[in-house]
Chain A
Amino acid sequence: MNSSNMKPRKNKTGTTRKVNRRKFLAVSGVVCASGAVGILVPGAGAAVPHGLPPLPYPDNALEPVITARTISFHYGKHHKAYVDNLNKLAAGTEYAELPLERVIVATAGKPDKTAIFNNAAQVWNHTFYWQSLRANGGGEPPRALRDRIEASFGSFEECKKKLAEAAVSQFGSGWAWLVLDGEKLGVVKTANAETPLTTRQTPLLTIDVWEHAYYLDYQNRRADYVNAVLDKLVNWEFALQNLSR
Chain B
Amino acid sequence: MPHELAPLPYAKDALEPYIDAVTMEIHHGKHHGAYVANLNKAITGHSALESMPIERLLANLGSVPDSIRTTVRNNGGGHWNHTFFWRIMGPGCGGAPTGQLADAIASTFGSFDAFKEKFEAAGLGRFGSGWAWLLLNRGKLEITSTPNQDNPLMGKDIAGCEGIPILGVDVWEHAYYLKYQNRRGDYLKAWWNVVNWSEVAKRYAESLR
Contacts and interface: CB of A to CB of B under 8 A. Distances in A.
Interface of A: 73, 77-78, 81, 114, 118, 171-174, 191-193, 210-212, 215-216, 219-220
Q: Number of contact residues on B: which range applies?
A: 20 to 34
B39 to A, nearest CB: 13
Interface string B140-153: 00000001110000
Given A73-B182, A220-B26, A220-B34, A192 B177 contact: no
A176 to B, nearest CB: 15
A228 to B, nearest CB: 18
A211 B26 CA distance: 13
Contact of A215 (B128, B148, B178): B178
A220 B148 contact: no
A77 B182 contact: yes
B172 interface: yes
A203 B30 CA distance: 33
Nearest to B71: A171
Given A210-B173, A211-B172, A172 B129 contact: yes
Contacts of B74: 171
A216 B128 contact: no
Contacts of B147: 172
Contact of B174 (A114, A191, A192, A220): A220
Given A172-B148, A211-B174, A191 B181 contact: no
B148 A118 contact: no
B10 interface: no
B181 A77 contact: yes
Contacts of B129: 172-173, 211
Contacts of B174: 211, 215, 219-220
B146 to A, nearest CB: 11
B12 interface: no
A171 B129 CA distance: 9
23 contacts: A77-B181, A77-B182, A78-B182, A171-B70, A171-B148, A172-B129, A172-B147, A172-B148, A173-B173, A193-B127, A193-B128, A211-B173, A211-B177, A215-B173, A215-B177, A215-B178, A216-B177, A219-B26, A219-B30, A219-B174, A219-B178, A220-B26, A220-B34
A202 B182 CA distance: 30
B116 interface: no
Interface string B172-196: 1110011001100000000000000
B69 interface: no
Nearest to A219: B26
B203 interface: no
Contact of A216 (B130, B149, B172, B178): B178
A88 to B, nearest CB: 15
Interface string B70-88: 1000100000000000000
Contacts of A192: 127-128
B31 interface: yes
Contacts of A173: 128-129, 173
B182 A212 contact: yes
B47 to A, nearest CB: 26
A118 B172 CA distance: 17
